[in-house]
């Protein structure tokens, strides 16, 4: 199978199988990398698994995967195979293309309690096709519990997106674009089993620049008609986040199927004149 000629930062296969239907990040010597790899997928081949870093032993940390186009079966920021490894601090940014199954910040393999998949970030912007994809901050095969939630963040900078589900994020950051309107929905989820974001921290902000939102306007952040569980969620400030306006504030309200944000405070027009 030919390489993904338009893509960069990796090579075909994995450390375990160089003929696998996969593309994995590499180091400066073109060896498969476990950490600090930087993979870009734009117009590449169809249906591959994309790994930022793949650790046949040890940790997979600090990897970056950027997808702007093409088709991938699954995206992984970091993948660990052996017990005790850490799939942490990885970042996946998606602004285009199609993901067919999963997006996973950190994958803990068939691990038990000594492995972790924490501190990973998935960023979504633009209009990627995620209709059949589940977005995970961290995940693993085994029924043994590991920490696959702490510090994992889903950041969305678009509206009108659809995915199958989201799971294992401590933080949900919604950066509403300047084109957002009252009544818009950021992310619609379709899993028939519903969605659970219990005990998560939710932050909402507006991207720097102008916005048509007025006081009292409501935007739906998450929606799943099959049920949305929000037990114990809390609001968090996004102060310090790059590229946002600090002049909007929101009240969050959860229903059985939605998480909504209503504008409390807007910029003072006398200060904007």
| 44 lies in some domain | yes
| 4 lies in some domain | no
Per the CB < 8 A criterion, the answer to whether 128 and 147 are in contact is no
| 56 lies in some domain | yes
Sign of CA dihedral 135, 53, 5, 7: positive
| 113 lies in some domain | yes
Structure tokens at 262: 């209503």
Q: Mark out the alpha helices in 107-235 (DSSP H runs).
A: none
Phi, psi of 269 (to 5 degrees): -65, -25
Domain that holds residue 173: 10-272
SS3 61: strand
| 5 lies in some domain | no
Number of domains in the chain: 1
Q: Mark out the alpha helices in the chain (DSSP H runs).
A: 269-272
Closest CA to 8 of 57, 49, 67, 61: 67
Whether the model clears a pTM of 0.85, i.e. scores above it, the answer is: yes
pLDDT value of residue 1: 35
| 69 lies in some domain | yes
| 3 lies in some domain | no
Sign of CA dihedral 140, 13, 74, 78: positive
Per-residue model confidence as pLDDT tens digits over 208-240 = 877 789 999 999 999 999 999 999 999 999 977
pLDDT value of residue 111: 65
| 227 lies in some domain | yes
Per-residue model confidence as pLDDT tens digits over 99-126 = 999 999 999 877 666 788 999 999 999 9
């Amino acid at each position: 199978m030919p390489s993904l000629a338009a893509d960069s930062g990796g090579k075909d296969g994995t450390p375990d199988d160089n003929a696998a239907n996969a593309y994995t990040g590499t180091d400066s010597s073109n060896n498969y990398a476990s950490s600090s790899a930087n993979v870009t997928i734009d117009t590449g081949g169809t249906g591959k698994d994309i790994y930022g870093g793949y650790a046949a032993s040890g940790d997979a940390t600090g990897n970056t995967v950027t997808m702007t186009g093409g088709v991938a079966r699954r995206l992984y920021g970091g993948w660990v195979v052996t017990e005790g490894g850490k799939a942490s601090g990885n970042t996946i940014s998606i602004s285009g293309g199609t993901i067919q199954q999963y997006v996973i910040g950190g994958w803990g393999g068939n691990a038990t309690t000594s492995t972790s998949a924490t501190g990973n970030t998935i960023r979504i912007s633009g209009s990627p096709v995620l209709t059949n994809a589940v977005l995970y901050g961290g995940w693993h095969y085994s029924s043994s519990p590991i920490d696959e939630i702490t510090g994992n963040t889903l950041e969305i900078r678009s509206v009108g997106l659809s995915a199958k589900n989201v799971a294992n994020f401590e933080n949900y950051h919604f950066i509403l674009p300047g084109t957002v309107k009252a009544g818009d929905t950021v992310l619609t989820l379709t899993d028939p089993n519903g969605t659970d974001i219990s005990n998560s921290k939710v932050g909402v902000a507006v991207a720097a620049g102008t916005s048509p939102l007025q006081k009292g306007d409501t935007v739906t952040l998450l929606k799943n008609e099959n049920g949305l569980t929000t037990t114990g969620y809390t609001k968090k400030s996004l102060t310090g986040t790059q590229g946002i306006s600090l002049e909007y504030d929101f009240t969050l309200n959860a229903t059985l199927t939605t998480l909504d944000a209503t504008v409390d405070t807007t910029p003072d027009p006398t200060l904007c004149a």
